């Protein structure tokens, strides 16, 4: 039976990855500061621990796992990573998890390790045009991310690649583009725009008004969780290509368009009040040429399919909270 360690197994992507690996027949250990918020973990063993502490990392890697998935990070949507107020914590906390985990993985001769980088590593200068952003993997340098979150991700990518070159650590790296779905953070300040608009629409009676940061002409693409997991598993299950590679959708949409899609799914007609807020880059879309070339696959679900599933789940959370 194959074994895997999932770091950040109490979070959105990590908890879904635990389920996916269990479905594939793995023995899975999870580690996180907390248990998953919305459903019990399916991990065979779950350790509560802080990966900034090397002792915890040593106890987490208590055997030679076939695979390690490193999702642990201090992260959130635009309201958390682009305000500037959390930069020190984001950089310190996330880099400590990465430094420790890659060193323990190497020293304990653990198996292949996956690192979840981000579209936020791409230079701001290539994402100033809402309709024509550039995110090909080779456009990462000269570097110029617009956030310290992005700089930490880029530094950690480099550190994983250096461990690969100098010490032979078996590494796979993906740059995720805004992953969403059920059981993701939907309130509290760390939620990303798909969850934020599902919540706002669910909370607002037909004919009411919701708020949106910026003019709504900024663009993004959003990837449903199941497709993210599929991409990660495909990257981990082959020997020829380590990345970094984009794992994202190439269905670009404006934030106004995203809000409109949620209203349509909910069957509500709401006004949008545009207010100042943390915006991030003007435009972003996933360039999927490299993933198609290297893995012979790319995500292909229409955004509306994943958004319908996500709205249904967030609407349930909102109704439950209102009881």
User: Which residues are annotated as catalytic?
Assistant: 149
The least distance separating ligand NAD from the CB of residue 106, rounded to whole angstroms, comes to 19
Q: Is 288 in the site for ligand GDD (CB under 6 A)?
A: no
CA separation for the pair 168, 229 (Å, rounded): 25
Radius of gyration of the chain (CA): 19
Counting contacts by CB under 6 A, is residue 260 touching ligand GDD?
A: no
Could you tell me where the beta strands, DSSP code E, fall in the chain?
Answer: 3-7, 27-32, 45-48, 67-70, 112-118, 171-176, 179-180, 209-213, 219-220, 223-224, 245-247, 253-254, 271-275
CA distances from 15 to 44, 94, 109 (A): 12, 18, 25
Give CA–CA dist 3/287, Å, rounded.
32
99, 161, 278, 309: which one binds ligand GDD (CB under 6 A): 278
Q: Nearest approach, Cβ of 206 to ligand GDD (angstroms)? A: 20
Instruction: For residues 96 and 105, give the distance between their C-alpha atoms in angstroms, rounded to a whole number.
Output: 14
Position among 13, 31, 57, 75 found at the interface with ligand GDD (CB under 6 A): 75
Establish if 213 lies at the interface with ligand GDD (CB under 6 A).
yes
- When the beta carbons of 92 and 132 are compared against ligand NAD, the nearer one is 92
Q: Which among 128, 108, 12 has a CA at the least distance from the CA of 68?
A: 108
Told to check if 266 binds ligand GDD by CB under 6 A, we report no
Is position 177 an interface residue for ligand GDD (rule: CB under 6 A)? Answer: yes
Q: In terms of CB distance, is 67 or 74 closer to ligand NAD?
A: 74
Euclidean distance between the first and final Cα of the chain, in Å? 44
Which of 2-10, 44-52, 155-163, 278-286 is the region at the interface with ligand GDD (rule: CB under 6 A)? 278-286
Nearer residue to ligand GDD within complex by CB, 115 or 149: 149
77 sits near ligand GDD (criterion: CB under 6 A)? yes
By the criterion CB under 6 A, which residues form the site for ligand GDD? 75, 77-79, 81, 118-120, 149, 176-178, 191-193, 196, 212-214, 218, 220, 255, 277-280
């Amino acid at each position: 039976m194959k074994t895997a360690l999932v770091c950040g197994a109490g979070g959105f992507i990590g908890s879904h990855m635990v389920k996916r690996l269990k479905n594939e027949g793995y023995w899975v250990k999870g580690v996180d500061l907390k248990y998953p918020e919305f459903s019990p973990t399916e991990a065979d063993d779950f350790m509560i621990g802080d990966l900034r502490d090397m002792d915890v990392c040593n106890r987490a890697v208590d055997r030679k796992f076939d695979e390690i998935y490193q999702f642990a990070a201090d992260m959130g949507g635009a309201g958390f990573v682009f305000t500037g107020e959390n930069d020190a914590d984001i950089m310190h906390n996330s880099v400590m998890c990465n430094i420790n985990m890659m060193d323990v993985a190497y020293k304990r001769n653990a198996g292949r390790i996956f690192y979840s980088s981000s579209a936020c590593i791409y230079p701001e200068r290539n994402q100033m045009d809402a309709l024509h952003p550039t995110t090909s993997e080779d456009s990462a340098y000269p570097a110029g991310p617009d956030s310290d979150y992005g700089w930490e991700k880029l530094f950690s990518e480099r550190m994983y690649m250096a461990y690969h070159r100098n010490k032979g650590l078996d590494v796979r790296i993906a740059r995720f583009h805004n992953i969403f779905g059920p059981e993701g953070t939907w309130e509290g300040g760390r939620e990303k725009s798909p969850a934020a608009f599902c919540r706002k629409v669910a909370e607002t009676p037909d004919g009411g008004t919701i708020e949106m940061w910026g003019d709504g002409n900024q663009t993004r693409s959003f990837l449903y969780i199941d497709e993210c997991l599929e991409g990660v598993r495909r990257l981990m299950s082959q020997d020829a290509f380590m990345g970094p590679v984009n794992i994202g959708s190439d269905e670009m949409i404006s934030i106004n368009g995203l809000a409109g899609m949620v209203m349509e799914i909910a069957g509500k007609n709401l006004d949008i009040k545009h207010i100042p807020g943390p915006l991030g880059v003007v435009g972003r879309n996933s360039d999927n040429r490299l993933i198609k070339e290297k893995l012979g696959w790319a995500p292909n679900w229409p955004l509306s399919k994943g958004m319908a599933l996500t709205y249904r789940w967030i609407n349930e959370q909102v109704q439950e909270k209102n009881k």
